[in-house]
Amino acid sequence: MSIVKVIEVIASSEVGIDDAVRKAVSEASKSVRSIDSVFVKDIKAHVKDGKVTTFGVICKISFRVDTLD
């Protein structure tokens, strides 16, 4: 049986939502192994002078936990 843990990560990008999600996974993978999936919980954008300047995402990242058999 596998055990799966979920962490919540916040990331942002000036390029777009896709880039923000990729950054979230990339940063999480620096300290977490065995990432299985990412669920985008929330999306937002910051606006300045009538233009979108930054995209932000809140992601739930799932990964398998090593267990002793």
Q: What is the pLDDT of residues 23-69, one digit of tens each?
A: 999 999 999 999 999 999 999 999 999 999 999 999 999 999 987 76
Q: Residue 36: CB partners within 8 Å, gap ≥ 6?
A: 4, 62, 63, 64
Domains and CATH numbers, the chain: 3-65 (3.30.1660.10)
pTM score, whole prediction: 0.86
Q: Which residue has the tokens 């936990």?
A: 65
